[in-house]
Amino acid sequence: MKPRSSSGGLVYSTDSGRMCPVCRQPVAQCLCKTRAAVPVGDGIVRVSRETKGRGGKGVTLVKGVALDAAALTALGKQLKAACGTGGTVKDGVIEVQGDHCDKVIALLRAQGMTVKRAGG
C-alpha cells in the first residue's frame, strides 16, 4: 500500500467536504492560494497584441504584473473601462479586447510601472 502523501493526499472528508491535497485543509480555508498568489517576475510589465486562437480577433495582453488576484482584477477593470471595451483576467494575464497597446502602456506608465511593448 502506498503512503497517503505519495498518492496526492486526502481529497474529501465527510466532516469538511473537499480538501486541498497539498496543505490538507478544507478548500475554503486552503493556504496554497495565498502563498502562490503573487507571481515572481523581473518587474517589467509586457504589453503585446495577439490574435492566436481567437478567430482573427485581436486582443491586447498585459503580462508580468506583480499583483495578487484581487488587485489584478481591479487593474483589468480599470484598463477595460479606459479603453471602452471588454476583456478578462486569466492566469495572471489581463486580456483587453481590441488593439489598445499604446493606450494601455500610457495608463500603466502613469501608475509608475516599468512597461515594455512585446511582440511585433
Other CB atoms within 10 Å distance of the CB of residue 86: 11
Q: Domains plus CATH for the chain?
A: 1-36 (no CATH), 44-117 (3.30.780.10)
- The pLDDT tens digits for 3-43 are 444 555 666 767 777 877 777 778 777 777 655 445 556 77
Give the list of residues 6+ apart from residue 17 with CB closer than 8 angstroms, or none. 26, 27
pLDDT digits (tens, 9 = 90+) for 53-95: 888 889 999 998 888 888 889 999 999 999 999 999 988 899 9
User: CA-CA distance, 14 to 65, in Å (whole number)?
Assistant: 39
Burial of 87 (0-12, 13-18, 19+ CB in 10 A): buried
| Calpha distance 120→117 (Å, rounded) | 8
| Lookup result for grid cell 474529501 | 12
Kind and range of the H or E run holding 90? strand 87-90
Cα 64 → chain centroid: 9
Note the pTM of the prediction, 2 decimals.
0.66
